[in-house]
Structure 1
Amino acid sequence: MMSDAEPTVEIVDVLVIGGGPVGLVTALQLARNLPNHRVKIIEKESKSAQDQYGRAITLYPRSSEMLDQLGLADSLAQQCFACRSTVNYDKNGNEVPGRGWSFMENMNDTKWNFALVLRQKYQEEIFRQALAEEGVQLESAWELTKIDIVEGVDMGGHRVIGTMENRARQETKLVKCRYLIGADGGRSFVRRAMDIPFDGTSSEDKWVRVDGVVETDLPKPRTYCAIESPTHGNVLWAALDRGATRIGYAFTPATQQAYTVFDEDAAVKEAVAAVKPFSLSFKQVDWWTIYVVGQRIARSFFVEDCIFLAGDSCHTHSSGAAQGMNTGLHDAVNLGWKLSLVLQGLAKADVLHTYEKERLPNVQRLINYDKDIARLMTMHLPENWTGDADADPNEILGKVMAEAGTFTSGLGIFYEPDDYLNVNQFARLSSILPGQRAPDVKLQKPATFEDTRLQRETPNVARFYIVMFVGRVEKTKSRLTAFDESVARFPWLFDSKYPISWLSVFGGPGGASAYEIMGDMPHGRVLYDEDWVAHNRYGIGADQGAVMIIRPDGWVGSVVELGEQGGQGLERYFKRFLILGDELSR
């Protein structure tokens, strides 16, 4: 029973519910970008270094890229198992190429061309430490028990009142906030409190996962491996950090019926059976679980203009393609910069509605893949299968996972062109279109000529980057002059109070002075594309050049010409959502 004393009232700008990776990364972005605002994050469980290992383990390349732009990936890489190898064994222990996780060996076009395997326990420690460095501590053992929306308060005001309880301390607290983010998992209280339907189904299929340190005669144990078991489905074997391994297998009806009580000993016994014909013994067991396979999507990710859902609170699926945490981090990064700009008064509140608009179609794509992958891993053909009824599910699984490869890696995830953040303006200037990922390309710094990368030069600090691909200056000189004249009509593009930074990328070997190459000082930071790798990857002609607008999260917002229409193209793009001129001062 809670204390009868009048609860204290705390006023913050953003209240984040849930201390997992999604909540932590969202809160971290807000804390960094909003030093004059208050961000609070709570978690109903006790979060400590003693947390169970379990849960998510794999970050794919695009997630690693996004975390790199937030300054987090290097710390993850220090501890991770970097998995670049896969193998698939049939029921007799023979290698079968091109099946299972083989797509992971073709995750190219990125520095992070591997699966970054680090158990969630350790990832959360890194995220919590980074958040603490921004002055925000995760407050554990506080449970949100009620949400009230205050009538008569303007949008963007402190419209939300959250009631929090700490049962161990018999304490109740009220928190008033402008925005509340529910990153509180598949059983989300926020989703239920806001009466948001969670559409989808849970199947009868169940899977078991066991983590620990093992001994085995499996020939390639430090890989992402699939074993085509005739009794336990398509078995997952994943090399983990600190020399550990995860074994995952289908908890079939036959296995369920064989046990009155399915405990850790039973989970280990069945893991040993699942990897036959290879031998397996556990030197230690860190964690094990059984869970029901299903797919669900919240009907809304943003309600009342002040309540967001992110991660498992708005979409759940199987761990078949190891997408849960990756998809949640995409949510966190997409939402983080948008809410930061709105709270700073730099962007119109309408931009918040693009969070659901952009994330929902990608979640639906994931669900569609996941339904097929989950059934195939449990040795069932997809529900809408129209092919050979006797087809080998393992063979079909390999094809489905290969087809989904660029989506699974995240490198192929895109946002549909629109008239707001992903705007087509000038055709045929670049092979990279608005809404697509901005490829990370090698560049050189001036004077020292030391190597750098585009994503290293465009960190996610809630700023847009205008990247001028200058091409071959002797050929683009007239275009540069016309562009300079056109942007001069919009001096606010260079005003530091707006969330815009400039980079100039010169094609070819760098000279002693960028000024001497151009005959004037370039816009923003100078970088060289010595071998034309960057221009070629972006499909930008050396004699034409182009100007890319790169969003804070590393997707292309628009492309404008390096010429007399360039300034107008930039102005058309930014005026759609930024608060400019007199509006900003108000």
Structure 2
Amino acid sequence: MGSIEKKVRHVDVLIVGGGPVGLVTAYQLAKFGHSDSIAIIEKEPKSSQDQYGRAITLYPRSSEMLDQLGLADELAQECFACRKTVSYDKDGNEVQGRGWYFMENMKDTQWDFALVLRQKYQEEIFRRRLREEGVSLEAPVELVSVRVDESIPSGSHRISALTKNGVTGVEEEIGCKYLIGADGGRSFVRRALDIPFEGNTTEDKWVRIDGVVETDVPKSRVYGAFESPTHGNVLWAALDHGATRIGFAYTAERQKGYPEFNEAAAVAEAIESVKPFKLKFKQVDWFTVYSVGQRVAKEFFTKDCVFLAGDACHTHSSGAAQGMNTGMHDAVNLAWKLSMVLRGLAPASLLSTYESERLPNVQKLINYDKDISRLMTMQLPTDWKGDPNADPNEILGTVMEEASTFTSGLSIALDINKINVAGSFKSNIDPPPVSAGQRGPDVQLQKPGSFEATRLHKETPNIARYHAVVFAGNPEDTSTRLKEFSGAWEASMMFSNARSPVSWLTIPAAKLGPSAYELLGVSPFGKVFYDKEQTAHSRYGVDAKEGAIVVLRPDGWVGTATALNGAAIKELEAYFRGILLVE
């Protein structure tokens, strides 16, 4: 009997790893028009029988990004929307302003809550939505080897990935232009390419257990903290479907009581961790014990064709519930850039901004996580210079409050570079509320005609296109500027080009009127939305007497902003020529 011939196929992008980061990356590429030229593989069988555990929390900025991809509404249907928190001291007394309290003050967003939904349910939604875009997760399929032929030009099929089907044993060679390793903390892609994973793993062990419980905890359907003298700063998180997660430090002292750590041990320790309150498990869904550590890959992008994303390039404790959020930021930063390069709209050099934009923010998280994870284990930070007898619970509350807008993702900013350019627009507000490299805030708007309420993020979806937003101000004051700009805009070859990946919106700061054309005195630039209370202009720091043009990147960060006048078109054309390959 002859040997089975090895199958061979070619794709533009191979994604390794079927967790949330891999699935959302694949979903974006499929949505952006690449469904026929991508593949996503996962070595574990994926089904509705998957374990419950792992990540649970999406913070506001992650929800905003998923909202602009059309995914958040479905997550919100199933989630536990957490807006309340509580902290209890060792005697069971409520302590104000500690632990997760910052969650109650996540403002300036429609998604002003922690979206708590176990990874199992998130993945089910992402897999289904990916299938609707014409791509199915291939599982169980394992990556066996990967080779990059650097003699083949970048942008061609220079990667050979050998995969093996876990059921049939059939091997397949996949030739691809780009490979994305979203295959977790023990990433095969990272190891196969010898990318150093720098950092350390501590001796500290933590336990997480999910299930349905009965308890006399007064506030149980919240994100909570119990300041336990034996189990550190204990996590209590209300979950979807009526379940609860409890997480605690598993000290060397506690470990002595168990020859083997099994479900019974996890339950017994969880009951101890929330004393003086009572706890009973009606059902255990999942539990784990793991070592805490922080590691960062030396490179997130290597050989001009291989990317790492999510836990494959950074791991940390679950102390601040940042794992899935950081991975979502990776996925959303990468996908639109890769799509633009694949469509010939941008040079391959755009891809290098993935690492340069993500790495500093990952490093910031790691540094913060080192302090958080020690404090949650009742140890002071390693570089602590204050009172050696300080209460770690008190310090933890301060650290988490200081880092709150970074944790929520709303203040995560990107350095000035070729795609984040400080333009000619100067806000009259000091410091300006929004500038290049910062998140473009969501703001309330009204549709013409019906005056129906809408939001800027709903009208600027992430479809791998830029959005140029003309804040037209009050047309009575800006009419001359609008006419100058309109003439230059209509004469622009770049923006009249059908291939131009730039959509336009016009937002006048004016009372609602029957006709946008009559209101503006010129033809609107793209769709029109009213800002009758001038709240959108105010949030973006735009004077209604002067106006401005704000360019939003596909992922929702501000790319640049120009003054509203006839010279703005030349400035915008120069900005886009620095990024795109269109004239």
Give the TM-score normalised by structure 1: 0.97
What are the within-5 Å matches in structure 2 for residues 291-302 of structure 1?
291-302=290-301
What is aligned with 1:56? 55
Deviation, structure 1 residue 484 = 2.0
**Rounded Cα–Cα distance in structure 1 between residues aligned with 2:150 and 2:212:** 55
* Residue number in structure 2 paired with 1:467: 469
Q: How does 1:421-500 map to 2 (within 5 A)?
A: 421-429=419-427, 431-500=433-502
| 1:27-77 per-position Cα deviation (integer Å, ceiling 9, x unaligned) | 011011124741100000000000000000000000000000000001000
Q: Which amino acid aligns with 2:126?
A: F
User: In structure 2, what is the Cα distance between the partners aligned to 1:431 and 1:211?
Assistant: 41
Q: Which residue of 2 aligns with 1:22?
A: 21
1:505-541 Cα deviation digits (max 9, x unpaired): 0102220001111222211000000111101111100
After superposition, residues 80-229 of structure 1 pair within 5 angstroms as 80-229=79-228
Residues 151 and 354 (structure 1), Cα distance of their counterparts in 2 relative to 1, 3 Å cut: closer
Which structure 2 residues correspond to residues 303-322 of structure 1 after superposition, within 5 A?
A: 303-322=302-321
Paired with 1:69 and 1:496, the residues of 2 have a C-alpha distance of: 23
- How much does 1:257 deviate? 1.2
Cα pair 2:426 2:563 within 8 Å, conserved: no
Q: Partner amino acid for 2:572?
A: L
The equivalent residue for 2:542 is 540
Runs of 4+ in 1 over 4 A off after TM superposition: none
Q: Which region of structure 1 is more displaced relative to structure 2, 423-432 or 292-301?
A: 423-432
Give the structure 1 partner of residue 8 of structure 2: 9
Is contact 1:494-1:500 (8 Å) kept? Answer: no
Greater alpha carbon shift after TM alignment, 424-433 vs 372-381 = 424-433
Aligned-residue CA RMSD in angstroms?
1.0
1:463-505: CA deviations, max 9, x gaps? 0000000010010011112222333442221323111000000
Contact 2:317-2:369 within 8 A present in 1 as well: yes
**Partner of 1:116: helix, strand, or coil?**
strand
SS in 2 for 1:452: strand
Residue in structure 2 matching 1:562, options 543, 548, 564: 564
- Residue identity over aligned pairs, in percent, reads 61
Structure 1 stretches lacking a partner, 5+ long: 582-586
Say if 1:487 and 1:568, in contact at 8 Å, map to a contact too.
Answer: no
CA contact (8 A) 2:494 2:573 kept: no
SS in 2 for 1:382: coil
Q: For residue 376 of structure 1, what is the aligned residue in structure 2?
A: 375
> Which deviates further from its counterpart, 91-100 or 422-431?
422-431
- Residue segments in structure 2 that go unaligned for 5+ positions in a row: none
Paired residues of 1:295 and 1:367 also in contact (CA < 8 A) = yes
Separation in structure 2 between the aligned mates of residue 4 and residue 406 of structure 1, nearest angstrom: 59
| Post-superposition CA distance 1:230-253 (Å, at most 9, x none) | 000000000000000000000001
Paired residue secondary structure (1:187)? coil
- Is 1:373–1:400's contact at 8 Å kept on the other side of the alignment? yes
Residue in structure 2 matched with residue 259 of structure 1 by the alignment: 258
Residue in structure 1 matched with residue 513 of structure 2 by the alignment: 511
Q: Tell me which residue corresponds to 1:238.
A: 237
Amino acid at match of 1:235: V
Q: Residue 167 and residue 495 in structure 1: after superposition, are their counterparts in 2 closer, same or farther (change >3 A)?
A: same
Corresponding position of 2:76: 77
Secondary structure of the 2:530 match is: strand
In the alignment, residue 445 of structure 1 is paired with which amino acid?
Answer: K
Matched to 1:435, the amino acid is: G
Letter in 2 for 1:392: D
TM-score (norm 2): 0.98
Partner of 2:552: 550
Q: 1:34–1:344: 8 Å Cα contact kept in structure 2?
A: no
Deviates more, 1:168-177 or 1:325-334: 168-177
CA distance in 1, matches of 2:165, 2:135: 19
Alignment check: 8 A CA contact 2:35 2:135 kept: no
Q: Is the 8 A contact 2:68 2:462 kept in 1?
A: yes
- 1:506 partner amino acid: P
Amino acid at match of 1:481: K
| C-alpha contact (below 8 Å) 2:13/2:39 kept by paired residues | yes
Q: 1:286 corresponds to which residue? A: 285
Cα offsets for 1:151-195 (capped at 9, x unmatched): 432210111110001243121110001100000000000000000
Equivalent residue number for residue 584 of structure 1 = none
Structure 1: how far apart are the matches of 2:217 and 2:435? 45
**Distance in 2 between the 1:402 and 1:185 partners?**
29
User: Residue by residue, what CA displacement relative to the aligned partner does 1:213-267 show, whole Å, maximum 9, x if unpaired?
Assistant: 0000000000000000000000000000000000000000101111111110011
Cα deviation 1:93-135 (Å, max 9, x = unaligned): 1111110000000000000000000000000000000000011
- Residue 201 of structure 1 and its aligned partner are, at CA, apart by 0.4
Give the Cα separation in 1 of the matches to 2:51 and 2:261: 19
Query: What SS does the corresponding residue of 1:12 show, helix, strand or coil?
Result: strand
Give CA deviations for 1:250-304 in whole Å, capped at 9, x if unaligned.
0001011111111100110000000001000000000000011000000000001
- Letter matched to residue 41 of structure 1: I
Corresponding letter in the other structure for 1:452: T
What is the CA–CA distance in structure 1 between the aligned matches of 2:181 and 2:34, rounded to whole Å?
22
CA distance in 1 between counterparts of 2:169 and 2:146 reads 19
- Counterparts of 2:189 and 2:527 in 1: how far apart (Å)? 43
> What SS does the aligned partner of 1:568 have?
helix
Counterpart of 1:220, as a letter, is: K
CA distance in 1, matches of 2:326, 2:119: 14
Residue 150 of structure 1: how far off its partner (Å): 2.3
Alignment partners' CA distance in 1, 2:492 and 2:294? 48
Q: Deviations over 1:291-338 (max 9, x none)?
A: 110000000000011100000000000000000000000000000100
The residue matched to 2:164 in structure 1 has which SS? strand
Partner of 2:573: 571
Paired with 2:439 and 2:456, the residues of 1 have a C-alpha distance of 12
Kept in 2: contact 1:425–1:558 (CA 8 A): yes
Amino acid at match of 1:490: S
Code of the residue aligned with 2:234 in structure 1: it is V
Q: Which amino acid aligns with 2:284?
A: V
Residue 4 (structure 1) shift: 4.1
